[in-house]
Amino acid sequence: MSKTESYILQIIRHNRNYGLLFVSCVCFILIYPSIADTSISDDILIAFSTITVGAGLAAVSRHHRVARITQGFGILALLIYAFKFFTPGDFEGNDYKSFLTLGTMALFWLFNSLTIFLAVLKPAPVTLDRILGAISVYVLIGLTFFVLYLVIYLIDNQAFLITTIDGKMGVNNMFFFSFVTLTTLGYGNVVPQHPIAQSLAILQCVIGVMYIAILMASLVSSYKFPFLKDETSQM
């Protein structure tokens, strides 16, 4: 077993609430863009979404109220993913299966991120597990907006202006645009033209800036890193 695999297993084992969700989210955003425009991209999207849904359900299993709604959407999402996986069609086709699958994705990730966000906000000691949960919420926000942008593009393929070498719009472009907007990088190679797409982009920018500036900064600054403890005890 390599050091990387060992470290990933340690994260999951010692941070049982959000460790698995964190790892699945990181793998999603690192691996999916490289295969997004291939012939297996839709199957991989369903596979990653299924893993993320499973990890998300495990993360909210100890919570109540909002978690019940999240779990309902999660179970529904798994059933629809299975239906989408075993039936022909892709996400660039304007059909009810695509809208049903993407809509369920967005609803689950929205409620999943909301449930974990409320849990992270509760007054309690700041642990690495809570920080991983907060980071997972940040990634889930990006995934939720990715799906919303994709739905807008399926409804109106002129909703976004793209400036690439081939000039073609694909699922990968929406994925890239969502996280570029969330982090407010704004490369400008994908520009929203539709008013709804523009409104969503503005909302995502505000959420991304406020989330990092307020919540993440507060959690990380309150976390007592183990290696700093060791250095302090030796002084």
Per-residue confidence in pLDDT tens, the chain, 235 aa: 565 555 455 555 555 678 888 888 888 888 888 876 676 777 777 777 888 888 887 777 666 565 677 777 777 777 777 776 666 555 555 567 778 778 888 888 888 888 888 887 777 777 778 888 888 899 999 999 999 998 898 888 888 988 766 666 777 888 889 999 998 887 888 899 999 999 999 999 999 988 888 777 777 666 655 544 444 444 4
**Is 235 within the bounds of a domain?**
no
**Is 119 within the bounds of a domain?**
yes
**Is 8 within the bounds of a domain?**
no
**Is 1 within the bounds of a domain?**
no
- This prediction has a pTM of 0.80
Domain that holds residue 196: 14-226
d(CA 188, CA 182): 13
**Is 183 within the bounds of a domain?**
yes
Number of domains making up the chain: 1
R_g over Cα of the chain:
19
b or e along 138-147 (b: 16 or more beta carbons within 10 Å of the residue's beta carbon)?
bbbbbbbbbb
**Is 3 within the bounds of a domain?**
no
**Is 125 within the bounds of a domain?**
yes
**Is 2 within the bounds of a domain?**
no
